[in-house]
Structure 1
Amino acid sequence: MPLLFLNEKSWGTACDPARAERAMADFVDAVRAAAAAGGSGTALVSEVDVKALEIAEGYPVNKWIGASPRNRVLWQRLRGLQGRSPVRSVFPAEDAADHLEYRHDGEVILGLGAAHFMDGIAVSLPVARQWQADRVPLERSELVEDDDGTLEMRHDTVDVRHLSAEPHLDGHLDWIRETRRQGVTTGSRIWDDQADLYPHLTFLPRVEGQLRGLNPHWVVPVRRVLEGLEEAVAAWDPATMAEPEWRTKVTPEGETRKRVCRFTDLDGETRTFDLHARFTPGAGRIHLRLVPKERTIRLAHIGGKIRPDL
């Protein structure tokens, strides 16, 4: 759920309207792709409302919106993403970055600097060549206090994550996924974000209650096992492999226990989910079955070891 920080220096530069149109279309596609990868909570952060900006000199966003029905659709898609302004509104405290200054090519640059400070991603309108990259170097000046209490300004160079076109997102996807996983601290979040976090896994409805009531000690272990299952199924080709190359230990139940692993599937049929992965502390189990036609595995149980009814 990263924050996307608008690079104000990439707007209002000189270019012809046709180039501005292409740049705006690429920008909308890139932002929407980042938001899709980032999931709920992803926001576009800018110092002023995007509608108040100029795409190019003399070509404000309002004029672009009215230029064609396609532009209106693109604008609606962009506005579908949560927007926040000004930039300081997302800082942990309004003055949190007052000891820092970021420059690019000698100019103070707010959006890119905020993206680095807040560990987010900067997004630019791809008009100038300098913004057509997945990382942008910045000069950082930081006011620091020495051991003796004196203040001095230190200077270094840092790279900020950046995108201005959809292909730039490829270099940031692993980081985005890890950021989202680290943000999952409850079983309810696992359930609510399952489609985004684990697109190759499907869950029976009965699992919702198990996840929402998940012991806090089990949240991280369960999350890690699900991540391993997701990675395995994402690389699985059912046409050439009977089952995925598991990234976590997955074994079948013995014949005498298969009867306790039968559950009502999504289509109403009762099936055996005897394959299971383990997690600790305790005897944690995730029961599943392979669904090769859908290139997925279906999960029927997340919790303690299933005990037979007495």
Structure 2
Amino acid sequence: MPLLFLNEKSCATTCDPDRADAAMADLVDAVRAVAKEDPGDTSLVSEVELKSLEIAEGYPIGKWIGASPKNHVRWQRLLSLRNRSPVRSVYPAPDADGNLEYRHEGEEALALGAAHFMDGIAVSLPVAHEWQTPAVSVERSELVELDDGSLEFERDCVDVRHISAPPHVDEHLGWIRESSLARAATGRQIWERKADLYPSLQFLPRTEAQLSDLDPRWVVPVRRCLERLDAAAAAWDPATMHEPEWQSKVTPEGETRKRVCRFEDDGEWETFHLHARFTPGAGRIHLRPIGEEGKIRIAHVGGKIRPDL
């Protein structure tokens, strides 16, 4: 189910009606091209309802609809999609992004951030050069709990899938088709599809319950983290490397905490002190590389392991 997030920063800008009309034509064609791949479930998410949208400064969508018969047809095509608003209405929980902020050129970017957070696609009116691209970079600030229990903001730049004209859709077709067929929408689906989604990962039986009861806020972050771990394992050559070249931050526990990272693995107690982190909150995936098989084995998916657990 592709979620398309309408970039509010590309709307209500200063441009003449002819340029706004052309931009809306491109946007509608691009959105419909995505919906063609998954006509039943594609949703267009906007901060305001579409009927209240201001396409350009002084040019509300109602005025655009009445400007020509072609515009009215395009409006009907937009209405054939499910429209959801505001942006946070599609989050798995009201506070799902509570410790996360996205900015573009120093300004908060709601839709661009939501597209990244929810693993969707941002959609823009191509009225400026910066929106005429299949990917947009944004700055992300994330409050994370470190291994010593302290809190710290981590800042980085991330790329957001983006479309504003039909040619951009071609850049994402593989992902769109995969999204409509295979992407897990719940923790339980992650468990049930793990062999197909993550062929280079192995999971201890204890993780079935953890994934089945996974907090909805964690489904996308866990899915992404597992994807990166799987890619690292797939590229790993144990004959030349002691462990995979990690594609995300993987760190060891300190000596005093290794004792809480021991789990029964095929009748033996093993230490899974290597861990990847995910947010919101202190999410952890504990793992160990299995050199003889060229795989990564997962022992824990959930919150930070506390000493009394």
Deviations 1:200-257 (A, max 9, x none): xxxxxxxxxxxxxxxxx99x99xxxxxxxxxxxxxxxxxxxxxxxxxxxxxxxxxxxx
Question: Which residue does the alignment assign to 1:112?
Answer: 112
TM-score (norm 1): 0.59
Which residue is equivalent to 1:38? 38
Residue 38 (structure 1) shift = 2.9
Given the alignment of the two structures, is residue 129 of structure 1 paired with residue 129 of structure 2, yes or no?
Answer: yes
CA distance in 2, matches of 1:115, 1:11: 17
SS at 1:34 equivalent: helix
Given the alignment of the two structures, is residue 6 of structure 1 paired with residue 6 of structure 2, yes or no?
yes
Distance 1:64 1:16, change over 3 A: same
Taking the aligned partners of 2:89 and 2:144, their CA distance within structure 1 comes to: 24
Distance change (3 Å), C-alpha of 1:184 and 1:154: closer
The amino acid across from 2:89 in the alignment is S
Give 2:130's aligned amino acid.
Q
Q: How far apart, CA to CA, are the structure 2 residues paired with 1:60 and 1:39? A: 27
* TM-score, normalised by the number of residues in structure 2: 0.59
Partner of residue 178, structure 2: 178
3-state SS of the aligned residue for 1:138? strand
Counterpart in the other structure of 2:276: none
Deviation at 1:181, TM superposition (A): 2.0
CA distance in 1, matches of 2:18, 2:171: 28
Structure-to-structure mapping, 1:35-114, within 5 angstroms: 35-114=35-114
User: Following TM superposition, by how much is the alpha carbon of 1:39 offset from its aligned partner in structure 2, in angstroms?
Assistant: 3.2
- SS for the counterpart of 1:39 is coil
Deviation at 1:82, TM superposition (A): 0.7
Tell me the alpha carbon deviations over residues 9-28 of structure 1, each in whole angstroms, 9 at most, x when there is no partner. 00011111110110011111
3-state SS of the aligned residue for 1:93? coil
For 1:268-283, list aligned pairs within 5 A.
none
Residues 1:143 and 2:143 aligned together: yes
User: In percent, how many aligned pairs have the same letter?
Assistant: 66
Q: Unaligned regions of 5+ residues in structure 1, if any?
A: 186-216, 222-310
SS of aligned partner of 1:169:
helix
**Number of aligned positions between the proteins:** 189
For the residues of structure 2 that align with 1:99 and 1:183, how far apart are their CA atoms?
25
1:179 partner amino acid? S
3-state SS, counterpart of residue 167 of structure 1: helix
2:40 corresponds to which letter in structure 1?
Answer: S
Cα shift at 1:146: 1.1
Whole-Å separation in 1 of the counterparts to 2:170 and 2:63: 32
- Separation of aligned partners in 2, 1:149 and 1:184: 31
Query: What SS does structure 1 have at the residue aligned with 2:67?
Result: coil
3-state SS, counterpart of residue 172 of structure 2: helix
Structure number with greater Rg is: 1
Structure 2 unaligned regions, length at least 5 = 186-191, 197-309
Give the whole-Å Cα distance in 1 for the aligned partners of 2:98 and 2:183.
27
After superposition, the C-alpha distances for 1:135-168 in whole angstroms (9 at most, x for unaligned) are 0001000001112221111100000000000000
Q: SS at 1:142's partner residue? A: strand
Aligned to 1:153: 153
Distance 2:56 2:7 in 1: 14
Paired amino acid for 2:134: D
How far did residue 184 of structure 1 move? 8.8
- The one-letter code sitting in structure 1 at the alignment partner of 2:90 is V
Misfit runs of 4+, over 2 Å: none
AA aligned to 1:108 is: E
